Amino acid sequence: MQLFIDVVASRYPDENLIMVVDAASWYKAGSLSLPDNLRLHFLPPYSPELKAQEPIWDELREKHFRNRVFDNLDTLEDQLVQALRANFKITEGNGYF
């Protein structure tokens, strides 16, 4: 998780970032070092209505990310964009990517 946070923050050094996360223990363990431009916002416990994305991620993981290892974040992002376009009919011109 630390590596992910560091990469995201370094990609957007001039932006103030808020990452919305659930209450998983690794976010609160105190072992994460947050960059100055990134803050965590915790969802309240037992709030499945705020996690509407879970079925989407389950579907994407099952169909597009199963047993895959990516060499770098760019390759992973490319796969994510392809998966989203395939599943949700997102195109270049509609303002998403």
Domain ranges of the chain: 1-45, 52-89
Strand partners, 17: 38
3-state secondary structure of 40: strand
Residue 18 has pLDDT above 70, yes or no: yes
Q: Mean pLDDT over residues 69-73, rounded?
A: 91
CB 25 within 8 A of CB 31: no
Please say whether the dihedral angle defined by the alpha carbons of residues 14, 12, 22 and 1, taken in this order, is positive or negative.
Answer: negative
Amino acid making up residue 60: L
Q: How confident is the model at residue 97 (pLDDT cuts 50, 70, 90)?
A: very low
Q: Say what the pLDDT of residue 56 is.
A: 81
Q: Compute the distance between CA of residue 24 and CA of residue 33 in angstroms, rounded to an integer.
A: 16
Q: Mean pLDDT over residues 32-40, rounded?
A: 92
